[in-house]
């Protein structure tokens, strides 16, 4: 039976998960290797709602890895990968605030594949949008003067072609 690890969110929620699930986070792995798993691992930068979402991802990918290990041939592995890739797309199809907090959590927890999924999702969102559309989507105030903005456009003309 897998060893259990308790993770404690910034708002005090505790989540008990298998060590292999928790160890998808390099941050958690390092903390446990340094201090042990006797007590709950504090995660002060991740709230309970976000941690729950991150653990959903980690659980799915832990199960996916177990299935890959049992797969008998490349065709079975490709089918499993296709299934998990679709699951990932559905999983990350969330509102802007959730995407933001999951991205921050993936970065803080050092979960490379989840961070990559989040960043690719943001890249897909902004692809083909003008700077003004991107600012509007992310509620970013334009703090450039017209002259500064023109200078940036001139220096980076390649990006606007």
Q: Is 43 exposed, middle or buried (0-12, 13-18, 19+ CB in 10 A)?
A: buried
pLDDT tens column, 3-16:
999 999 999 999 99
Among candidate residues 33, 66, 54, 42, the one with its CA nearest the CA of residue 110: 54
Does an H or E element contain 18, and which?
strand 14-18
pLDDT tens column, 40-65:
999 999 999 999 999 999 999 999 98
How far from the centroid of its chain's Cα atoms is residue 91's Cα? Answer: 10
Specify which residues 16 forms β-bridges with.
6
């Amino acid at each position: 039976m897998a060893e259990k690890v308790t993770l404690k969110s910034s708002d005090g929620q505790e989540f008990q998960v298998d060590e292999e699930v928790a160890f998808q986070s390099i941050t958690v792995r390092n903390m446990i290797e340094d201090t042990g798993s006797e007590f709950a691992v504090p995660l002060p930068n991740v709230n309970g709602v976000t941690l729950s979402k991150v653990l959903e991802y980690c659980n799915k990918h832990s199960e996916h890895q177990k299935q890959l290990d049992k797969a008998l041939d490349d065709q079975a592995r490709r089918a499993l990968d296709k299934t998990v890739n679709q699951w990932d797309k559905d999983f990350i199809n969330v509102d802007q605030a959730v995407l933001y907090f999951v991205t921050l959590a993936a970065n803080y927890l050092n979960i490379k594949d989840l961070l990559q999924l989040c960043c690719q999702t943001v890249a897909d969102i902004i692809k083909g949008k003008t700077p003004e559309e991107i600012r509007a989507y992310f509620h970013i105030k334009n703090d450039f003067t017209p002259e500064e903005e023109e200078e940036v456009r001139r220096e980076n003309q390649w990006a606007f072609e």
